[in-house]
Amino acid sequence: MKSPAVATQATATWTWSLAPALLVCLAAPAFFVLQIAWLGWMLLAAALIGAWLVDRHHGVAIRPSRRAAENSPPSLTRDLSLIAIGQLIVSAIPLHAELDNLAFLRFTLALGGAVVVPYVISRFVYGDYAIRFPWRGGGRWSRVQWIWLVGVLALGWLILPFYFITSGVYQNWPVVNTPDLIARLFVGVGAVGIWDELFFICTVFVLLRRHAVTWQANVLQTIVFVAFLWELGYQAWGPALTIPFALIQGVVFLRTRSLAYVVTVHLLFDAVVFSVLVHAHNPGALPIFLV
C-alpha cells in the first residue's frame, strides 16, 4: 500500500507543473467570484491539457499498470482532474446561503458529491490513495494546540463582529429570528465548515502538494478556498480574513496530520460566525460582543 499522499510532494521549487495547477485553481474565482461559467470551463480545460503535456514530457502515464504505479511519479493530469471534477460539481449550484429544505438538499448533494466523487474516482478508477482523511493524525493534542483553540475563539470574538456588522455582509445570510431558523443556521454553518476541510485541505491541498512544494500548494488551495467563501457570503473585505485563515489551516494540517484538529479549529471559528449572525439579525439577543 502506498504511503499517505500528504507525505508526498514535489522537491523542485519551480516546475512546469505549476502552470496547469494555477489554471485549475483560477477556475474557482471564475466560477464563484466572477460567476462566468464558460471562463471556468476554459480554465479547467486549459489546465488539463497543460497537465497532459507535462505528464507526456516526463513520461508519466495517466493510468499506469498496477506494477508500474508502485514506482511511477503521480500523474498531474489525474490529480488535477479530481480537483476540476470537484469544482464542477460545486459550481452546478448557487452558493448563496439559504435555509429552506430544498437549499439543504442542494448543498448536501453538491458539496457531498464534490468530496465523494473525486475520492471514489481516485480510489477505484485511478487505483491510488491520493485522497485520505486522517482523522486522528499525529495522536494526542499538544499544549500549543489547545492554546491555539482558545486563541481562535478569542480572535473570532474580537474580529468577526466588526467585520460582519460594519461591512453589512451579515445581510448575505437569511434573517434568523425564530428557533427553527436559528437551529438551521447552526447546522448549515457547521456542516459547510466541516466540508471546507474535507475538500480544500484533504482533497485540493493534498493533491496539489504532490506536484508543488508546500507553500506553493498552500497558496494555490487558498485561491479555491477564498473564492468559494466569497460566493457563500464572505465579501467586502472578507478576503483579508479568509486568506490568512485558509493559509493557516493548511499549515496546521501539515503540522498535526489531524483532520479532527483542523475541523475543530474551523468549527470553533464557525461557532463565533453563527453567534455573530444571530446577534446581527437580532440586536441585543447575544450581548457578548463589542459591536
- pLDDT tens by residue, 156-180: 999 999 999 999 999 999 999 999 9
Which of 225, 220, 202 minimizes the C-alpha distance to 87? 225
In sequence order, what are the residues at sequence separation of 6 or more whose Cβ sits closer than 8 angstroms to the Cβ of residue 182?
176, 278
The average pLDDT across 94-112 equals 95
Torsion of CA 118, 103, 289, 149, to 10 degrees: -20
Mean pLDDT of 272-278: 96
Q: What's the DSSP call for residue 236?
A: T
Is residue 83 within 8 Å of 118, Cβ to Cβ?
A: yes
Q: Which residue has the cell 465523494?
A: 116
Q: What is the pLDDT of residues 128-149, one digit of tens each?
A: 888 999 887 777 899 999 999 9
Pairwise CA distance, residues 81 & 187, whole Å: 31
Q: What is the DSSP letter of 173?
A: S
Q: Where are the domains of the chain?
A: 5-281
Q: What is the pLDDT of residue 118?
A: 97
CA distance 99 to 101: 7
Mean pLDDT (the chain, rounded): 91
Fill in the amino acid letter for 123.
R
Whole-model pTM? Answer: 0.91
CB 82 within 8 A of CB 115: no
The pLDDT of residue 3: 41
